[in-house]
Amino acid sequence: KKAFAEGSDEKWLFCSGIITEAIMSWALGKVEMHVSDETYGINILKWISPFGTLNIKTHKGLEKMGFDGTIAGGKAFIIDPSAIGYKHLEGRDTKLLPNRQGNGVDGQLDEYLTECGLWLRNEATHAVLEGVTSFT
């Protein structure tokens, strides 16, 4: 409910496996859950609630960073896609750098270089869930 207090009615939850398991265990038979078709090779679990729609994606990288309950406690990130954007460093947007091969190389090697990241606008539209270490 709190995650939908501001921003759009559809958000994304990126979480470790333990949090996905917890959601599935308490949601079974209680809330409307849908497994979407695989899109671009990604399976998405969709939770439809009276407050909004939450697209849930288990992110294995969060477990590798210790967000699976073993080190830093289970974490999940709720992102409002309408409040994020692409942001590059000034003068560092995507550029083609031709002829990057070393001397004596028989061929041509070009490189695309970008220094960028995500720009999160309006902090209140996003949320962090933390401290999940187990569920019953």
Single-letter amino acid code for the residue at 96: L
Residue 59 to residues 14, 105, 114, 120: CA-CA distances in angstroms? 6, 40, 24, 19
pLDDT tens digit at each of 136 positions of the chain: 888 999 999 999 998 888 888 877 776 655 666 666 555 566 778 888 889 998 988 887 777 766 555 554 578 899 999 999 999 999 999 999 999 998 988 999 999 999 999 898 898 999 988 877 777 6
CA 85 centroid distance within chain: 13
Please, which residues have CB within 8 angstroms of residue 83's CB and are 6 or more apart in sequence? 7, 8, 120, 121, 122, 125, 126
What per-residue confidence (pLDDT) applies to 25?
Answer: 79
How many helices (H) and strands (E) the chain has is answered by 2, 10
pTM of the predicted structure, to 2 decimals: 0.71
What per-residue confidence (pLDDT) applies to 15?
Answer: 87
33 with 47: CB under 8 angstroms? yes
What per-residue confidence (pLDDT) applies to 28?
Answer: 64
- Which secondary structure element, helix H or strand E, spans residue 10, and what is its range? strand 10-15
What per-residue confidence (pLDDT) applies to 17?
Answer: 81
Q: Where in the chain are the domains?
A: 2-132
What per-residue confidence (pLDDT) applies to 65?
Answer: 67
What per-residue confidence (pLDDT) applies to 94?
Answer: 95
73 with 133: CB under 8 angstroms? yes
Q: What are phi and psi of 82, to 5 degrees?
A: -75, -10
Residue entry with tokens 């501001």: 6
Give the pairing type, strands 84-88 and 95-97.
unpaired
What per-residue confidence (pLDDT) applies to 126?
Answer: 93
pLDDT tens digits for range 10-38: 999 998 888 888 877 776 655 666 666 55
